[in-house]
Amino acid sequence: MLFFLLLFFFAELFVSLKVGMMIGFGWTVTWILVSMAVGIVLLRLSPYALMSNFQTFNFGRFDIRDVHNASLAYLLGAILLIVPGVLSDLLGVVLLLYTLYLHLFATMRPTPKTGYKDHFTEEGESNVIDVEIVDDRDRLDTDRRSR
């Protein structure tokens, strides 16, 4: 795990230096500051995004795996935008686009409520017993009237 973290750190440093040499120091600093600000705003709005994920789960548009994936991708994307560097910003944007994809296209599949078949209704329709509930006071009133 430490090896991959070091590998990511050196790749981040290499890509950031190459991009910094291509676009200049001022634009690189601007890029880093803007991406940090966007990441902080997204992280502050994360409770609302997580509630939105759970609401789509309650409406039956997401299953629990989609809620987990969308929530985790949103949080990691926001955190990666805060981390300074070009490679982490690109990974953060990819994760945020994945969250957007889940919200736009995962909700287009049919909801479980429309395709849901109740096995009690199919099997038990012939065995339905109609029951009338009679209140004791109503029975006493009818008994007194009949006398």
pLDDT, tens digit, for every residue of 71-107? Answer: 899 999 999 999 999 999 999 999 999 998 888 877 6
Q: Given a cut of 60, is residue 28 above it in pLDDT?
A: yes
> Which alpha helices (DSSP H) does the chain contain, by range?
2-23, 25-44, 46-58, 64-82, 86-105, 119-124, 136-146
Q: How far apart are CA 64 and CA 60, in angstroms?
A: 10
In a domain, 116, yes or no: no
Average pLDDT, integer, range 9-33: 91
Task: Quote the pTM value.
Answer: 0.67
In a domain, 128, yes or no: no
Percent of the chain with pLDDT over 70: 71
If one compares 122 and 22, the residue with the highest pLDDT of the two is 22
Residue 54's pLDDT is what? 84
In a domain, 124, yes or no: no
In a domain, 47, yes or no: yes
Residue closest to 102 by CA, chosen among 45, 58, 44, 57: 57
In a domain, 91, yes or no: yes
In a domain, 60, yes or no: yes
Residue 41's pLDDT is what? 96
In a domain, 141, yes or no: no
Domain extent at residue 62: 9-110
If one compares 27 and 124, the residue with the highest pLDDT of the two is 27
What is the pLDDT confidence band of residue 65, given thresholds at 50, 70 and 90? confident
